[in-house]
Structure 1
């Protein structure tokens, strides 16, 4: 396909000014209110339906969108139930009619831009600065602090702002559909059901704009080229029915922690962090290796220096697993890595008496290369951890999710169409003054694999605002507002370039 006629392209400077105005007058205020609502994802709030926080943020976003009175826009909050009649997490769906001649062919054939985001949040976490908090929004030097603003409550507001900026210049645009879910941080378990139910209304998706990813720096547009998969779950080792005096039992009763450590040695080389089972590894594609080398040349040591390193005993910072920028990028994108994100069965230090504990449990987070099937990996991991337990201890691993659908597979982006590659670079140059960057991300967005399977011909623009130190999921999460404004304008340019 050829690029659109240049006479139909928006003026980039005017586009930027319109987006800036919407962000400054409207979106920052809306995000303040959004951050203040503890709309935790269902995995972290079992009573989410009764608590109503997810419904509140969806309803507030819907009210804001409809209040903009965008010509040609319709909106619905879609609510489905499961087989037992329990509510599924709500989805906000909006549609904006095309202003191009292809509207005559009908929804099923009309090229459609699908814009994606989510409104559910990770839990509070500890370690926030004394002047900050997860539910207390604060704007400091252009950074809006608080849980969920950057990951990624801004997405629906940015999507509408981008469309408004095009309409302000009377730029024709394709049909646009927005899909904003509230289950992403729990693995998007409800999303396949919604995609099946809404398939006819989504239409012929030809471009996906996903606003739920990261950035290598705040100086250019970054396109996400891959996402890691994820298997998470609880590994538990039980040796007693109740705790006993450690002086009486140690040396007789094996430590549940030692057994757990021994079991994990089957999975990970504790000296290097390398995952041992071969089935969790893949050969890194040549094009992704070349992109990592190019990105490393741009970012340099900032690839690893961006982390909030503690200091060691001698006062110097903790060392990274590798100081080679290329290897660090590949470690966080194309190699499996294990993290322990939670623990159960241990007493806080202040109340830890001389008791040999009956059990130890770890929450495991296993990140997988983009092309590894997460469900199969979860089954392999369960067998590996539970097989032949030392001392005949009760060792169980319960993956998150549902049997047959454990984990979330990663995603490797399809090749860019020439028009999109040209458009991304032009948008980055116009809004940032620098070329587009390409970077794999270590996180997981389950939607991308679902959409890739459902719309195999669609192009993918996966991008986001999670740049250095933005710290999604952790303490002091922030949204860099100037970067978000420029990203919004860049998205608008790409939509205008859609053939």
Structure 2
């Protein structure tokens, strides 16, 4: 039986299993869902076992469990470690969901639920692809290991310890991850770059209480004024970041990389229409896809202080706050970047106020050489199923554990995503296009056979 026929015959059954998975509210960030995290880990372990994987084990960590499984009966053949995560983002704001986030619903060829595309749906594809190979051929063309964790959405705080402790068990020739997207419908992509990350929270204290703006206005520091002035100093009029040393370690785009970005034929006009924008914005001299895939950023994620209720309250705020994240590329060191930003803030803050900075998460950027044979094989596998060879792209987002896997296991990471950019991951009405559910199964089978 062809694999097309195999999956077509079992489509409704497999979709039913995925829906069952999606009903589990495995939100890693919220402590009240601890039992749901255990339930999700057990569900994954059960499916790996029923698919024919061996040595299936749920490993406890200081946080949520990690599920491991293997099938090592292809002597002399490469070993592929499949990584994914069963945890999901919180669902707020709940009122914006058209259907409940943990009641999976099919509409217009899409499956709606929290985790549908990030990452339960994509993890599920790998389990079912392995099951299909074993049922059809009674053996696998490669050796396979699975490492499915429950903390990706909270920056994987316990996975590094697990990698260090279980390095021999996890040893592999390549890591295979499906947690990214196609460029657009019918245009597959393999990400060869992810931006790194660092974050910080900034607080400014002026007086010891809010003050009447009539009695004190013009005579005392205003925390919001000081904050706005300070934040404005972080960029120039051309969109470049003004922090001294920020661009150290940032590689210039080569002619070949410019050409690879051009191949995407990205439609900026459609983007502006979709987002209701009159123009895009960013560092001069780069296109939208280059700015978001291969250039570093410093973005304000939240700024607040003073009166925010209905009507007017004439106060001079005593304090103001801001949250900042940076996306990093190349050899930018997250700690060095944080130090440089903190130094800039202290050097440019208005006199008469107190500045406090709280550093947050850190992650290095990740890059792969697209000429690696396994990446070329993955591109060929996409072409065999989608009729279009995958392009090599650089993604603007950060998956910190990808760089860690590559470094700790000394193995290339192959990011074969099957989502679409508009599937609302991390937002209300998250969904997975079922066309890519069908083609994803075939592509993974094709890739493993070609390897």
Normalising by structure 2, we get a TM-score of: 0.89
Q: 2:363 aligns with which of 387, 395, 408?
A: 408
Q: Alignment partner of 1:209: what SS?
A: strand
Compared CA separation, residues 387 and 29, structure 1 to 2 (3 A): farther
Q: Following superposition of structure 1 onto structure 2, how do residues 454-473 of structure 1 map, counting pairs within 5 Å?
A: 454-456=408-410, 458-473=411-426
> Paired residue for 2:60?
79
User: In the alignment, is residue 56 of structure 1 matched against residue 43 of structure 2?
Assistant: no
Q: Following superposition of structure 1 onto structure 2, how do residues 186-265 of structure 1 map, counting pairs within 5 Å?
A: 186-203=154-171, 205-265=172-232
User: In the alignment, is residue 425 of structure 1 matched against residue 379 of structure 2?
Assistant: yes
Q: Give, in whole Å, the separation in 2 of the partners of 1:397 and 1:323.
A: 26
User: In the alignment, is residue 335 of structure 1 matched against residue 301 of structure 2?
Assistant: no
Q: Alignment partner of 2:204: what SS?
A: strand
Q: Following superposition of structure 1 onto structure 2, how do residues 35-434 of structure 1 map, counting pairs within 5 Å?
A: 35-42=22-29, 45=30, 47=31, 51-66=34-49, 68-70=50-52, 72-80=53-61, 87-98=62-73, 100-102=74-76, 111-126=78-93, 129=96, 131-132=98-99, 134-170=101-137, 172-203=140-171, 205-269=172-236, 271-277=237-243, 279-281=245-247, 282-286=250-254, 290-301=256-267, 305=271, 308-310=274-276, 317-321=277-281, 327-345=287-305, 347-350=307-310, 353-387=313-347, 389-401=349-361, 407-418=362-373, 420-421=375-376, 423-434=377-388
1:115 Cα deviation after fit: 0.6
Q: Alignment partner of 2:119: what SS?
A: helix
The answer to whether the 8 A contact 2:130-2:445 is kept is yes
Q: Alignment partner of 1:169: what SS?
A: helix
**Between 218-227 and 464-473, the greater mean CA deviation after superposition:** 464-473
**Between 141-150 and 432-441, the greater mean CA deviation after superposition:** 141-150
> Paired residue for 2:430?
477
1:432 Cα deviation after fit: 0.7
User: In the alignment, is residue 439 of structure 1 matched against residue 403 of structure 2?
Assistant: no
Q: Give, in whole Å, the separation in 1 of the partners of 2:239 and 2:270.
A: 16
Q: Give, in whole Å, the separation in 2 of the partners of 1:463 and 1:389.
A: 45
User: In the alignment, is residue 497 of structure 1 matched against residue 450 of structure 2?
Assistant: yes
1:23 Cα deviation after fit: 4.9
May I ask how many residue pairs the two structures share in their alignment? 448
Compared CA separation, residues 19 and 398, structure 1 to 2 (3 A): farther
Q: Alignment partner of 1:350: what SS?
A: coil
1:323 Cα deviation after fit: 12
> Paired residue for 2:402?
448
Normalising by structure 1, we get a TM-score of: 0.81
User: In the alignment, is residue 25 of structure 1 matched against residue 13 of structure 2?
Assistant: yes
The answer to whether the 8 A contact 2:205-2:354 is kept is yes
Q: Give, in whole Å, the separation in 2 of the partners of 1:358 and 1:196.
A: 47
Q: Deviations over 1:390-419 (max 9, x none)?
A: 123222221224xxxxx1111011343335
Q: Deviations over 1:242-295 (max 9, x none)?
A: 3233333332332222212222233223x4432223533312342xx5245334
Q: Alignment partner of 2:56: what SS?
A: strand
Q: Give, in whole Å, the separation in 1 of the partners of 2:192 and 2:263.
A: 17
Q: Deviations over 1:71-90 (max 9, x none)?
A: x522111112xxxxxx3232
The answer to whether the 8 A contact 2:239-2:283 is kept is no
The answer to whether the 8 A contact 1:116-1:210 is kept is yes
The answer to whether the 8 A contact 1:303-1:325 is kept is no
Q: Give, in whole Å, the separation in 2 of the partners of 1:232 and 1:192.
A: 20
Q: Give, in whole Å, the separation in 1 of the partners of 2:318 and 2:103.
A: 39
The answer to whether the 8 A contact 1:150-1:466 is kept is yes
Q: Give, in whole Å, the separation in 2 of the partners of 1:23 and 1:278.
A: 55
The answer to whether the 8 A contact 2:87-2:152 is kept is yes
Q: Give, in whole Å, the separation in 2 of the partners of 1:62 and 1:328.
A: 41
Compared CA separation, residues 21 and 184, structure 1 to 2 (3 A): farther
Q: Give, in whole Å, the separation in 2 of the partners of 1:307 and 1:181.
A: 38
Q: Give, in whole Å, the separation in 1 of the partners of 2:269 and 2:198.
A: 25
Compared CA separation, residues 129 and 160, structure 1 to 2 (3 A): same
The answer to whether the 8 A contact 1:220-1:433 is kept is no
